[in-house]
Amino acid sequence: MTKLKERTRTALLRRAAEQAHLAPSVHNTQPWRLVIRPDMLELYADRSRQLAALDPTGRQLMISCGCALLNARVVLAEAGQRVRIDRLPKPSQPDLLARVALLDGKAPWTPLVRLEPELARRRTNRREFIREEVPPEVSYEMANAADEEDTDLFIITSDRQRRTTAELCQQAEREQLKNPHYRAELRTWTTDLLTRDDGVPAMAVPHVDTGSGGEIPIRDFDTRSDAWLPPVRESSRDQCLLLLAAREDSPRGWLRAGEALQRVWLEATRFDHVASLLTQVAEVTATRDQLRDRLNLLGYPVVLIRVGRAPETPATRRRPADAVITEVDS
């Protein structure tokens, strides 16, 4: 391998790491570290950024890191680069979540290639959605994307399924709000500082007042009553609701579910749709188990996604790349 080729590969891995860092994460915690080695990118969990009250098992952290891994894969696929992906490669190092090794030769085309332009366009959109149906072809592409990542996407269609989901979402919301540690943690990760480079900013959050809310509760990030976006007065059970379910209830299954979530999200973005996540029902053990049982799911619910159309929201900030990306020679 020539020095020029080494430099080219390092530059490609750097771009993959930088795009991985744009991935969504629970409360915008950005709970990852990325290490660039010769011919390899490694993804590590940053446990110091795990949410103790909301996410004691680390499931949401793993899902967040899976989103970052998918972003890196999209960049490398668009470059035509063959790769080998080893997930959780060393049991003795549980925080080493994945290794993406560069291989010689050109990779065949994959649908991931067409998602590269969407990496910068994707946003979490907590606004009120326009009341219109998501076209069947969009739902098909999203479901197929999840299946390609060994994860199931359950499209909630019947009135019974919608009513069940809405009831359990409301129950989970009530349970979480009873916990003072959860409420304190939520305040810690919301901010009105435009210069803060993590957490959920006021500019991306709907204001909450007496008339806000709906059948499917959107998490209340308006902890200081200074949110910039207008209240969401209608979040009905009739909107497009998709339930992502892991095929394994394990760190590997959660990581794969994160890859699926980001791939589904990028597909929605490709069709000019927006999405936001309603994870409360999967974060509370009782409601998660009831949802799985009452919807007769084979998999394990991890994320409820609402998809539709809405005015744009600004991108949330990220920590400086040098804070999460390291280059080493060996």
Q: Residues 164, 228: one domain?
A: yes
pLDDT value for 234: 47
Domain extent for 258:
136-308
Query: What are 202-230's pLDDT values in tens digits?
Result: 766 654 554 445 677 666 554 554 544 44
113 and 192 together in one domain: no
219 within some domain: yes
Residue finishing a domain among 96, 121, 146? 121
Number of domains in the chain: 2
Asked if residue 68 is part of any domain, the answer here is yes
State pTM to two decimals: 0.92
Flag whether 189 is in a domain. Answer: yes
Q: Does 172 lie in the same domain as 35?
A: no
**If we measure between CA atoms, which residue out of 142, 114, 124 comes closest to residue 240?**
142
Predicted confidence at residue 131, as pLDDT, reads 82
Please indicate, yes or no, if residue 52 is contained in any of the structural domains.
yes
- Least confident segment among 76-90, 156-170, 193-207, 255-269: 193-207
Helix-strand-coil percent breakdown of the chain, rounded to 5?
40, 20, 40
Q: Which residue has the higher pLDDT, 296 or 312?
A: 296
Residue where the block lists tokens 């994945």? 98
pLDDT recorded at residue 315:
87
pLDDT digits (tens, 9 = 90+) for 60-116: 999 999 999 999 999 999 999 999 999 999 999 999 999 999 999 999 999 999 999
pLDDT for res 321: 96
**Which ranges of 250-306 would DSSP assign to H, the alpha helix?**
251-270, 280-283, 285-294
Query: Do 186 and 67 share a structural domain?
Result: no
CATH number of 116's domain: 3.40.109.10
Does residue 3 register a pLDDT over 60?
Answer: no
